[in-house]
Structure 1
Amino acid sequence: MAKPICSRFIHLEDSQDVANGSNGFKFRFISYNILAQVYVKSSYFQHSPSSCLKWKARSQAILMDFKNFDADFLCTQELDEYSTFYKSNMENLGYLSLYIKRSGQKRDGCGIFYKPSRNIRRTRLYILVHPQLGSGPGGHLRWSFEFEVHICVPNQSAGLSELSIAQLLQMEEIDYNDLVNCMSALNEIGNNKVLDLETRHAPIKELSRKHQPDDPHVRLKRDCVGLLAAFQLNDSSNHIIVVANTHIYWDPNWADIKLAQAKYLLSRLSQFKELISNKFTCIPSVLVAGDFNSTPGDEVYRYLVSASEVAPIQLRSLYAAHGGEPTFTNCTPDFTGTLDYIFLSGSRLRAVSLLEMPGPESADVIGGLPNHHHPSDHLPIGADFSVLQSP
């Protein structure tokens, strides 16, 4: 496959102001729905060249994308072939990983790949300065200045030292099927009301029912999943970040289910953040990534960025805070729009650059995805973050 035309990080205008308050530690964070091979059917993607849909070509193209991103944290959705392909290949690139497969017979899931360390090549650079004749005793003098340059390289190589990046502290899995065990979820979905998770742990009485599509027990069981993980960064303050990665249900006609999942996500995220705060006596930053199958302005999106007391944790959208959401992150002839987001919370992380997104007239997306430039029907999103000094 050809290299994507838009695959660079654009420095933000206020990045210098951020750098002035930084403690010097930066990391790269990417989110990417890679399109599980199990869903790659020629009938679904008639617009795509057949050679772009084959597993051998796609797997290598996705792996090359991962390598070129050189991310420290990579959140993936629709990740299948994890144990047979991605886990070992990503380990060869220096990554450790977390993975949860979807429930039931589904073959894909969500993964978080992270680099515990980066390789650093240490090179000595000598600069020789020749002053003018007569500038010192003997006429000619030569001063030698020695500098040590640290160059980050993505792959493992002999003779290189390591710079520690992040250490996994704790993780939890999210199975949205657990919503069927929430009395409030059943009541609210059944009554087509906004879900309240305050009584999410209330016991459920056994109900006699027929498993019909309008039965809340059936509607809530969509086999969607997510991951929560806490990492300690190797910055000067050992700052802790909580990373959430998820894939919300797809059907636009089931907006109530998607909202129920979004509320369950924030409920679990809030509890996990509190657990980490108490256990490690810290105030962690939060990064939430995923395919939310919701466009800007949808009820799910509005809830996630509501900035009100309704949501248990206050989030802001990365791209929206820096010029607006991308025009699209999913591009097919049937649908082109923004479904993928990175949200964050806390005051210690500042974006210094964003992954550039193509426009609708960009040559690498015309005709729809996947194509020779992009192995998925989704586009990756991401940023370089700087960790700010403690207040």
Structure 2
Amino acid sequence: MPYVLGIDVAQGRTHAAACRRQGHGWSEPEPLWLGERSPAAASALFLDDEGYLLTGDAAAQAGARVPSRLLTGFHRRIGDDVPMMVEGEPFPPETLTTVLVEGIAEHAASLFGGPPHHLVLTHPGDWGGYRRDVLRRALADAGFTAVTLVPGSVAALGAHLPVPGPGAQVAGVCEFGTDGVTVTLATASGASGWQPGQSAEGVAPAAALSTLFALAGAASASPKGLAGVVFSGDVPPHALPVRPPCPMFAGPVPPATAALGAAALAALRADHRGTPQEPPAVETTLLPKVDTLGELGERPPRPPVEITPFELPERTGPLNLFRRRRPLAAAVLVLAAAVSAVVITVTAREATAGSPVPPSPAPSHCAPSGEGHC
């Protein structure tokens, strides 16, 4: 059965969704069941004794027993030339993400009978062209050539606002995670699709909307003028206001919003690939017209690193105390030696003055004689 696939690799959990072909169109995105107890699976890999990489919840369970072989956080490490090490084996981060995608694609193929017509994969919003090229090449080496990479915020908008309206449009995304809320302001103009603009990370959940409206105000957009606000991730209860100033969307499963939107964007992209007509209005640089890989660009320069020397705490033993007070101790010793010398000198003089003087011998009246006595 023809289908397209959307995958959202988040920091802790990975979600996936698919759209199936229905006549000349596509069905609504449906989440795929990846985990053992929930639709999401752990964003983790585990190196077993035979050298194979386990994925998802199976990897997390095995890693709980042997943490030294567990691999996490690799998706955000893509573009770093330092590989991740497990049991002395180096693993490039882009290769690990590709292995995770392969596991999900194999699961989808078992459900739908073959590979997807198109794959949309999310990535962090602060990525540049270099990181996308590195991941795209790793996916192409694994056989995934029909791939589109989009920021997670754009994928979340795809779940509720896949096609922007005419003219200039502004929308917002609030992605709730373990490290706070990532607030992103997205814009669209004319024939272009959504493109992420200003963003703020680590925002407190209670301040998410106020931060978004502040970003909109800086872009000369009022809250009432927003095309909508999409809530995704672990959205807390009562996060949406009772009287919102603009349309707001949370969906039935907020943690899967980005994956559902990625599948919707994959359906749009697949339609464009299957017809020789002009690209639809949603085509942007985020949904590239050409999927061929060019030369890999230059690696972005690393930011300057300032190393602050770490001062170890000093020991408090007597010897170390003497070392820290060495000049003072030397002065005290010199003074003590001088005082001791003075005391010894004075004591010696007093002892000499108080001792009795021995009497001088009486003069002898013996005249020398030849016999040797007086």
Q: Same fold by TM-score, threshold 0.5 exceeded?
A: no
Q: TM-score, normalised by structure 2?
A: 0.28
- From the two aligned structures, give the one with the greater helix fraction: 2
- From the two aligned structures, give the one with the greater strand fraction: 1
If asked which structure has higher relative contact order (CA below 8 Å, sep 6+), I would say 1
Q: TM-score, normalised by structure 1?
A: 0.27
Larger gyration radius, structure 1 or structure 2:
2
